[in-house]
Structure 1
Amino acid sequence: MPLNIWGQPVGDSLPDWQPRPTPQRRTLEGNWCRLIPLQQEQAPGLYHAFSQASDDSHWTWLPMEPPRDVDAFTRQLAQAAATDDPLHFTVMDNASQRPVGTLALMRIVPQHGVMEVGHVHFSALMQRSPLSTEAHWLLMQYAFNELGYRRYEWKCDSLNAPSRRAAQRLGFQYEGVFRQALVYKGRNRDTAWYSIIDSEWPHLNTAFQRWLSPANFDGQGGQRQTLEALRQRSPTGR
């Protein structure tokens, strides 16, 4: 561990560090889906996708309430599309060419190379398909490979068990719970924190690529190997 001139332990030196670029509105292409900048014109398609759920439980841990109708949703979407942080993206299904969900990069701090994925809202049309995994992978690749960020965060209500399972499945490391971190929808939120850092990314990236390969899926779309199993393999593939 490095010591300063007074013999105190300090963090590793980063002599070549430079603030990272700010994420931009751009399209990120994948095999199963692509991410495009969120736009107000996508509201009818997204409203239809979110309406495929049997109830409104998928809105429980989002910061906004379910919209009353497509006009209310259009106004909600227009506000989200106008912000740079969060920077929202729409998930487009390459097979159907329809919007099926949204997610965002947020709490973007270029000087420290830190950003968070949030506002994740995937419709029922993405369930039991590779789209949700690839959508997350596309944003991770953008953050680490293209923009050179050091830390990529995932935060959720500590009571949101599906979100916590998703973070762990995707390879995020659990860091703890910030108690009474927020008040939203008139209730308390303890926030669970997860992260991936740049030194972990190459191995995770290899596992994502192997999992997303068409060869990993059978004729019925079932996975041959889980993402967790592929992540447990050594970097050399053994």
Structure 2
Amino acid sequence: MPVINHFGQPIGEPLTGWTARPRPARIMLPGDYCRLEPLEPARHRQALYDAYYSVPHTEEWTYLPVERPADQRGFQALLEGLAGSEDQHMAVIDKASGEAVGSAAFMRIQPVHGVAELGWINWSLRMQRQRTGTEAIYLMLRYLFDDLGYRRCEWKCDSLNAPSRAAALRYGFQYEGCFRQAIVTKGRNRDTAWFALLDSEWPAVRQALAQWLAPENFDEQGQQRHRLQALMP
């Protein structure tokens, strides 16, 4: 129920004791299948280059803000730009190999509102059909909500990016609508689909993600016993 102020107007409920939250720090987030660590071009460039350039095509870059650079020099410049931005870019390190196999970022961080976005998600083919991708998102969400106390996490993507839309729903985000003609990217129009996960929704989503990632959810061949969607509230 909305609160009614002394003018008779409905207003939002007061947040007693609310204070601005800390920004995500440059720390490692350890998991069972992977870990996340702050992106460092000198440290992660070669492994990420090998992972992203292991295939000749660039379809995994279609919906990213930039195309895949043509060579190592261009890729180095891209990583340096990401690492030096205000966003907190993280490298995903596969625990089995110890190599960087993907990256993601905390973006548009607004500590005063307790809001941040998960974006620039760039999983290489070495992460597909592996548990590392789901665990990486789980680690980022757990850090944002449980450790930092954020109220809201956003996920935005090109409205035509069906895999990203499906991933957002799979991870427990709720669809909130489409911003038409939101931006121009790569010389073309982008309508942006918005998804979000709230702190009140997080406990149930956290339980579902933890259940899915648990070793007992996978058989001897590594096949999942229960789909994540079936565990979600």
* TM-score normalised by L of structure 1: 0.95
Question: 1:146-174: CA deviations, max 9, x gaps?
Answer: 00000000000000001000001111000
1:53 CA drift (Å): 3.2
2:216 maps to amino acid: A
Cα deviation digits, residues 61-101 of structure 1 (max 9, x gap): 00111111112101110111112x21100000000111100
- Within 5 Å, give how 1:190-209 maps onto structure 2: 190-209=191-210
AA partner of residue 37 (structure 2) = I
Deviations 1:103-126 (A, max 9, x none): 000000000000000000000000
Give the paired residue count.
Answer: 231
The 2-side partners of 1:51 and 1:219 are apart by 31
Please tell me whether the aligned partners of residues 179 and 190 of structure 1 are also in contact (alpha carbons under 8 angstroms).
Answer: yes
Secondary structure, in 3 states, of the residue corresponding to 1:183?
Answer: strand
Contact 1:151 1:197 survives alignment (8 Å): yes
- Aligned mates of 2:131, 2:113 — CA distance in 1: 32
For residue 92 of structure 2, what is the amino acid of its counterpart?
Answer: V
Deviation at 1:52, TM superposition (A): 2.3
Please give the per-residue CA displacement for 1:175-202, whole angstroms capped at 9, x wherever unaligned.
0000010011001100000000000000
Corresponding position of 2:55: 53
Within a 5 Å distance, the mapping from 1:64-103 to structure 2 comes to: 64-83=66-85, 85-103=86-104
- Same amino acid, percent of matched pairs: 51
CA distance in 2, matches of 1:6, 1:49: 60
Of 30, 43, 46 in structure 2, the residue corresponding to residue 44 of structure 1 is 46
Superposition pairs of residues 86-165 of structure 1, within 5 angstroms: 86-165=87-166
Aligned mates of 1:209, 1:65 — CA distance in 2 = 34
CA distance in 1, matches of 2:170, 2:179: 21
Could you tell which deviates more after superposition, 141-150 or 213-222? 213-222
1:138 aligned partner, one-letter code? L
Alpha-carbon separation, structure 1, partners of 2:83 and 2:7: 50
Q: Secondary structure at the match of 2:232?
A: helix
In structure 1, C-alpha distance between the alignment counterparts of 2:159 and 2:65, rounded to whole Å: 14
Letter in 1 for 2:66: M
Superposition CA RMSD, Å: 0.9
Distance 1:182 1:142 in 2: 29
Q: CA deviation at 1:214?
A: 0.8
Per the alignment, residue 221 of structure 2 pairs with 220
Q: Could you say what secondary structure the match of 2:226 adopts?
A: coil
Q: Distance in 1 between matches of 2:208 and 2:37?
A: 24
Determine the C-alpha separation between the residues in 2 that align with 1:184 and 1:217: 40
Structure 2 residue runs of 5 or longer lacking an equivalent are: none
Shift of 1:217: 0.7
In the alignment, residue 59 of structure 1 is paired with which amino acid?
A: W
Is the partner of 1:166 in helix, strand or coil? helix
**Partner Cα separation in structure 2 for residue 216 and residue 11 of structure 1:** 41
What corresponds to 2:65 in structure 1? 63
Contact 1:129 1:221 in 2 (8 A): no
Please say if residues 29 and 35 of structure 1, whose CA atoms lie closer than 8 Å, have aligned partners that are also in contact. Answer: yes
The one-letter code sitting in structure 2 at the alignment partner of 1:57 is E
What's the CA shift for 1:8?
1.3
